[in-house]
Structures are given as structure tokens and as C-alpha cells.
Chain A
Amino acid sequence: MELLADGIAKAVALLASLDQEVLAITLLSLKVSVTATLISLVLGISSGTLLALADFPGKRLMVSIVNTGMGLPPVVVGLFVTIFLWRNGPFGFLEILYTPTAMIIAQAVIATPIVTGITVASIQNLPANLRLQILALGATRLQMVRILIKEARLPLLAGVMAGFGGVISEVGASIMVGGNIKGYTRVLTTATVMETSRGNFDIAIALSIILLLLSFAINYVLTRIQQRERPR
């Protein structure tokens, strides 16, 4: 318990003094995870809608694959992204291993199946005849897709929150593809692991608290937006 109190005290101290390093780490966490979530938003909602609306042999298989992808272990993603980005690997010429860009890529790979899976479920959950009703109102295919996405906006927002939650908190892939390099690819989660193994439990707890606050703040905003739509 004393340790926890130490941790909270340290967190307050670090934040109040606007410790440069902690601020940099926090900002990087935000940058990487928000960017990855945005990418997954674009890729996930578009592919999810397509998958939900299209009809083709093997559709059920595709949906199963996406649903499995939702539970993809981040560390497995990290391993595969690393192998691809190795200097001597297929994409080594890009030279982005051990950079924040690689972390964004890995996190986007983790988050996209989550957003896709929830999008598929959300769109499929709309009334069966809604698609026909929209077409009967004279909509083009594109207009119909836009309207369907708008109709499913509540669960879709939940999907985005799930995607964001999945990546802001992950550490396995971030360490592997980022390298936890001080001031460059060190984020809240990787720093917490390092400080723990160094025995600096108070700093580790402080970083954890900051991570939780950050995650809470963002989810609070998104939830406000989502819940504003609900009937009061």
C-alpha cells in the first residue's frame, strides 16, 4: 500500500513539475496510438461495411478470420511486423524499424481487425430491410453506404473506442518494433515495463496512473459524443 501511495505521490510530482521526459513519453503514446486508431478507423469501417454488405462464397470464412483477428495477440503482431521491417527483410529498404512509424503500423494492424469486426456486427445488426428502403428512396450505392454507416454510428463509435483501448495499452508489439529507445520510441507502456524491471516501482506506478488517466480522458470524450446521441 505504501508503494501505491508512493506511486501516486510520484505521479502528481511528475505531472505538476511538467517533467520533460514524462511529457514527451505521454505525448508520444498519444501520437502513436491516436494515429494508429485513425488509420484503423478508416480501414476498419470501410472494409467492415463492405464485408457486411457484400455477398460472396467464403463470406462466412472471411468474417471468422476477422473475428479471430480481433483477438490477435499484440506480441504476435509485433513479431511479424518486425520480421517484415528488418533491414534485410522484404520492407527493410524503408528503414522504419525502431521508429514511431513502425509502432504506428504495428498498432494499426492490431486495431484494424477490432474496428472491422465490430463494424461488420454493427452493420449486420441494422434492420434487414433498411438497405432496400434506402435504395427505394433513390440513393446511389455510395449514398446508401454513407447512410448505413451513419445509422450504425453508436456501435461504430464503441468499436473505435475498443480499437483505441487495445493499442494505447499494448506493450508487446511496441517494444519489439519500437525498441523502447529513450526520447524516440519510448511510450508509457514500454517505459512502465522498463522502470519495473529496473526496480523503480514508484515511477512505474506513476506512469501507469498517467496512462490510465490518459485512456480515461479520451474514452470519456468519445463516450460523451456517443451518449449524446442516446435518448435521454
Chain B
Amino acid sequence: MKVWKQFSLLLAAVTACIAFGLPTPASAAPKSVILATTTSTQDSGLLDVLIPIFEKESGYFVKTIAVGSGQAMAMGKKGEADVLLVHSPDDEKKFMAEGFGVTRRLVMHNDFIIVGPAGDPAGIRSAKTSADAMKMIAKAGSLFLSRGDNSGTHAKEKKLWKTAGINPDGQKWYQQTGLGMGDTLNVAAEKKGYTLADRGTYLALRKNLGLAILMEGDAKLLNVYHVIELNTAKWPKINAAGGKAFADFMVSRKVQEIIGKFGVEKFGSPLFFPDAGKKPEALGL
């Protein structure tokens, strides 16, 4: 009997704590902004710096949902997000053309690199362009890991194969992980294969990977980020004001400065290059 009393008291106490601690749905409702962005953006740590500043200034509560670019845009199409921060230009253009977004503004870019085992079995170090490098990998039949998740990185990778005139699907040396960038890099490191990665994630993981940068600098490897405000015509529940506030925030001069300095302390070079207001042609796109 005594044990039961103790247990019920414990139960009551815990329930009380929890009941008091639970945030009520109402408190988060009108003042929240759902930002759909990519795992690589979140993994870079840039948002951990920017979001608190935005929240303080605007009073909005940002719910950062980090998925692949593909899923982020799918969320946008279903009205389940308020603003997008993605980097898959071709899909974005289609998205805008279909009327799902009202404005699309350039925010920043970083670049992709092709990494692989230090021994470089396919010898792509000698390649002049990214397309050549891809051709060499295919010819040598060296293991290549693809994210295979409709992310911006995956889209870029598919475009590179197309430019190189190669269809890797179904080939024995071409494996798709379906994972985020960090995990895919880990898999590539384990299996000693090649992969396409954004510089930021690679730099963050470089210490533990053992993969080397084997191809970089090609204009085709640029990774461009846009912030897209969504069209409320179809989905009235979208927080347009919040989305606009965030988009404006991202292209503001102050934030662009912060973006330009991000990563310098830790990695010696910035992870992103601010581009707000620039014309796409200026980047060689």
C-alpha cells in the first residue's frame, strides 16, 4: 500500500510539472514563421547565428525546418511553409513559373567541390572542368556516392552528369545514399568513394573525413542560395508578412556583412559569399 501511495504522489508531482511546463499552442501561433531550408544550410551553422538576431529584431518566432531543397519546395507548394531558403536554381525557376512564389531574391553563394580518396584512383586532379572530372570517374568506374534525395546538391550533381553526357543510373559504381550532406560525406569517406559536396559542410567535417578536394573552381560548381516568399493566393494561411520580413532581413546590408564574415574565424576562409542585389550574370550563371 505504501508503495502505491508513493508512486501516485510521484505521478501527480510529475504531471503537475509537465502541465505547467507545456507551452500552449496559442503562444506560438500567429507570431511564428516557418522557414523551410536545407540540411546543408542548417549544418553550416549560419542559421544558428542569423535566426536569433532576426527573432530579436522582428519579434517573430522562427521554426526552421531543415529538409532537402526538393522537400522544402514541396512544402512551399502545399502552403506548409512561410518562406524558403534554398539552392536548387533550376527547380526554383520552375517553382516560380508555376506561380507558387511571389518574389525570389539572391542571397549568397558558396561552391561545390568534388572530393574523393587522397589516392584519386580516377585521376580527376588533372581534369580541367567538372564535366571532364565526371567523365573520368565514369570511365574508371570508380565508386561515386550521390545524395539521391532531390536536394539542391543532388540537382546540381544530376546537372553535371548531364553536361558530361553520362547517365550514371543503374551503374554498379554509382550509389545513392538518400541522406543529408554530412552523412553522405561520411559514407564516401568510409567506402573511399567520390562525391559532390558543398564546401561548407566539407570544411566542417574535414577533420574526421580523410577525403581530399580534387576538383574546384569551375563556374558550373557554384551553389547559389535564394530566398523565396510564397504566394498566399492559393494558401491563405501563409504568414506573408513574416516571410517578407525574413526575406528582407536576409538581403539587408547588415546581414550580408555577417554572412561574409561567417566561418573565417573557424576555418580561415568564409563559408558563404554575400550576393544580395547582384545580377545573376555577374556570377557567371
Contact = CB atoms under 8 A, between A and B. Distances in A.
Interface range on chain B (Cβ under 8 Å from partner): 35 or more
Interface stretch (B13-21, B138-146, B158-166): B13-21
B65 A179 contact: yes
Nearest to B81: A87
A129 interface: no
B48 to A, nearest CB: 7
A179 B62 CA distance: 11
A213 interface: no
A12 interface: no
Nearest to B7: A225
A174 interface: no
Contact of B43 (A181, A198, A225): A198
A181 B64 contact: yes
B200 to A, nearest CB: 11
A143 B182 CA distance: 57
A100 interface: yes
B22 A35 contact: yes
A88 B80 contact: yes
B78 A197 contact: no
B63 A184 contact: yes
B171 interface: no
B65 A100 contact: no
Given A99-B25, A181-B64, A184-B63, A198 B205 contact: yes
A199 interface: yes
Contact of A86 (B62, B80, B209): B80
Given A87-B237, A88-B80, A98 B63 contact: yes
A59 interface: no
Contacts of B78: 86, 88
Interface stretch (A48-56, A73-81, A89-97): A89-97
Given A86-B78, A96-B25, A198-B45, 9 more contacts: A86-B80, A92-B237, A98-B34, A179-B66, A180-B66, A181-B64, A196-B183, A199-B204, A201-B208
Interface of A: 31, 34-35, 38, 86-88, 92, 94-101, 104, 179-182, 184, 194, 196-199, 201, 225, 228-229
